[in-house]
């Protein structure tokens, strides 16, 4: 570890913290329908969209109607993206003449981008046409992120309102999120990335002659526009196969910093929005404090292990002086790669600027654990907040058991229904991750995927289904996933992890919105103090630890013990 690396990590954390309040205030005004500086331009556009679609934004919905609308919209989008890929050889904006995408890969990619996962079993620049990249993938980058934010706001309304039956209008939340948040923010970031050297064009690929006299094909395309929403929407799907390690996607240290800020900005700001909506800003700070503690622990573990390097290689000067540089971009170094890996898996964003498969066992375990904890450490835009609130319900329930009182959160009695739904949401993730990993670990088609042997090969399988179920999309990069088996099973895991978790979360919102607010008493457990922050962080870690420790012990933990014991496979 170096002082410069630590300073860069602290600088990044400080910038994100400074942005939380102004962005959170802006998001609050957007979702409360208050006037913003963009209203003169966007209000007419919003009204036109409602007229064309026949939506009445003032008609509020019961949680079942809200959830049904969300599901129908996303499933329809999934089928349309599937069709685009299967027909891309017949459609325009395909200057390279790329063929139709295979059925299993089309299914995997359609589910991936619909669920905000953006897992990629393909090489983007040789598989997807410009039209599919823009009309299909980039479109879903916007609406899948908007869906997550809308669902989080709906759950917050469940806490903020009382004695009601409705939690908002999905169509209005989707439109406002897209128009007022994602589009303008992405436009600003895209321009900044173009300034830093990211391409934005429709040119055919360029053929260049190398100094050795060989020919090299250099891919082009509308990269900056997809890169911006990829980060702001915590999507992560790269235009190029190397993702944010590619010099066209991430050309400079400044572009690297901007991308990491974009990943955390909206998710962090939503905690402030939550505080304003429930009329107690301390509640938002408590959630943000919990996220900050878990983030700092994770990035510290990752950086320490990557800077320490592999003890099997320490006799060699290059490793002894530079730590573990394998799989790292020399432009960014160990500190920024460890930070990027932590940020992207804290925030359900599959972008990478280094290869996680090349990390040390414990350094690579940090991204894996981040996803296993439900990606609530800032989390995906919206998804992180509603995931954290699920754990908050479990935390106050446990606190209530300790003191023998009915648990309360924000003045709402937390009863059997809310606890059952919260537990169900947690169990959905655990079931999908562990069941599919178990299947792949014994099925011949699953065992053919990992390139490594032993515990590291198991980690590659475990990471794939953890990333898919957690809707992260990053990969260890050591798994041959573009097969019928993995395309099919990972697609199923992504669908389960997104939508089967959302249903119980929305049921919680529907239950809470009908409850009356109970005045705080001397026996009320305060949820704004350090004690609650510690309890909440502890519940997240303990639930994750009890659920996934056996699997982790078979993968990265054994891998680490073998490494320090001087054994290799």
Q: Which pTM was predicted? A: 0.93
Q: What values do phi and psi take at 525, rounded to 5?
A: -75, 120
C-alpha angle 478/482/487, rounded to 5°?
Answer: 115
Q: Give residue 219's pLDDT.
A: 85
- Asked whether 193 and 226 are in contact (CB, 8 A), the reply is no
- Residue 203 confidence class, pLDDT cut points 50, 70, 90: confident
CB-count burial class (<10 Å; 0-12, 13-18, 19+) for 111: buried
Q: Is pLDDT of 558 > 80? A: yes
> pLDDT, tens digit, for every residue of 217-275?
888 888 999 899 999 999 988 888 888 999 999 999 999 999 999 999 999 999 999 99
Token duo for residue 567: 């054994």
Taking 70 as the threshold, does the pLDDT of residue 520 lie above it? yes
Query: What is residue 317's predicted lDDT score, i.e. its pLDDT?
Result: 40
Q: What is the pLDDT of residues 86-96, one digit of tens each?
A: 999 999 988 88
Structure tokens given for 536: 């909440």
Which of 219-233, 317-331, 419-433, 461-475 is predicted with the least confidence, judged by mean pLDDT? Answer: 317-331
Residue with tokens 């009382």: 162
pLDDT in tens, 288-342: 999 999 999 999 999 999 998 887 775 544 444 568 888 888 888 899 999 999 9
Q: Tokens for 209, please give them.
A: 């002659």
**What pLDDT is attached to residue 122?**
86
What is the percent of the chain with per-residue pLDDT over 70, rounded to a whole number?
A: 98
pLDDT at 315: 53
pLDDT at 521 over 80: no
- Tell me what pLDDT residue 10 has: 95
Strands 412-413 and 206-209: unpaired
416-442 vs 484-495: helix axis angle to the nearest 10?
A: 170
| pLDDT at position 17 | 96
Task: Considering only residues 522 and 62, tell me which one the structure prediction assigns the higher pLDDT.
Answer: 62
pLDDT of 322: 66
Q: What is the reported pLDDT for 405? A: 76
């Amino acid at each position: 570890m170096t002082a410069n690396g630590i300073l860069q990590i602290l600088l990044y954390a400080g910038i994100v913290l400074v942005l939380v309040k102004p962005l959170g205030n802006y998001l609050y005004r957007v979702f409360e329908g208050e006037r913003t500086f963009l209203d003169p331009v966007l209000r007419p556009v919003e009204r036109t969209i409602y007229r064309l679609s026949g939506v009445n934004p003032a008609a509020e919905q019961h949680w079942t109607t809200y959830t049904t609308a969300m599901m129908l919209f996303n499933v329809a989008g999934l089928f349309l993206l599937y069709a685009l890929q299967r027909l891309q050889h017949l459609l325009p904006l395909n200057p390279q003449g790329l063929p139709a995408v295979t059925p299993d890969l089309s299914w995997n990619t359609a589910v991936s981008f619909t669920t905000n996962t953006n897992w990629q079993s393909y090489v983007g620049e040789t598989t997807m046409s410009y039209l599919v990249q823009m009309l299909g993938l980039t479109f879903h980058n916007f609406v899948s992120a908007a869906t997550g934010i809308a669902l989080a706001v709906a759950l917050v309304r469940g806490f903020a309102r009382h004695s009601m039956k409705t939690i908002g209008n999905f169509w209005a939340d989707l439109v406002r999120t897209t128009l007022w948040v994602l589009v303008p923010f992405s436009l600003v970031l895209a321009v900044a990335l173009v300034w830093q050297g990211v391409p934005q064009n429709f040119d055919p690929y360029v053929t260049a002659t190398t100094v050795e006299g060989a020919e090299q094909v250099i891919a082009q395309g509308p990269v900056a526009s997809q890169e911006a929403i990829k980060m702001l929407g915590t999507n992560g799907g790269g235009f190029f196969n190397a993702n944010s390690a590619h010099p066209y996607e991430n050309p400079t240290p400044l572009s690297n910093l901007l991308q990491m800020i974009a990943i955390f900005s909206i998710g962090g700001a939503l905690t402030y929005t939550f505080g304003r909506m429930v009329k107690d800003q301390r509640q938002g700070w408590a959630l943000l404090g919990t996220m900050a503690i878990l983030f700092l622990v994770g990035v510290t573990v990752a950086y320490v292990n990557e800077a320490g390097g592999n003890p099997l290689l320490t006799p060699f000067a290059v490793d002894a002086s530079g730590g573990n540089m394998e799989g790292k971009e020399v432009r960014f170094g160990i500190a920024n790669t460890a930070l990027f890996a932590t940020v992207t898996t804290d925030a359900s964003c599959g972008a990478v600027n280094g290869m996680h498969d090349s990390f040390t066992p414990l350094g690579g375990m940090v991204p894996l654990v981040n996803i296993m904890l439900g990606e609530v450490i800032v989390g995906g835009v919206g998804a992180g907040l509603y995931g954290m609130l699920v754990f908050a319900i479990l935390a106050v329930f446990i606190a209530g058991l300790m003191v023998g009182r009915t648990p309360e959160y924000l003045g709402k009695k937390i009863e059997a229904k809310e606890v059952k739904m919260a537990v169900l949401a947690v169990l959905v993730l655990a079931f999908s991750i562990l069941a599919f990993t178990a299947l792949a670990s014994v099925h011949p088609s699953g065992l053919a995927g990992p390139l490594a042997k032993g515990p590291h090969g198991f980690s590659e399988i475990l990471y794939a289904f953890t990333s898919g179920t957690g809707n992260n999309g990053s990969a260890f990069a050591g798994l041959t996933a573009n097969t019928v088996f993995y395309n099919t099973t990972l697609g199923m895991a992504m669908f389960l992890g997104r939508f089967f978790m959302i249903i119980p979360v929305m049921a919680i919102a529907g239950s809470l919105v009908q409850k009356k607010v109970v005045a705080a008493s001397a026996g009320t457990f305060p949820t704004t103090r350090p004690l609650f922050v510690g309890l909440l962080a502890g519940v997240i870690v303990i639930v994750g630890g009890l659920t996934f420790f056996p699997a982790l012990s078979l993968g990265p933990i054994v891998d680490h013990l073998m490494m320090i014991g001087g054994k290799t496979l």
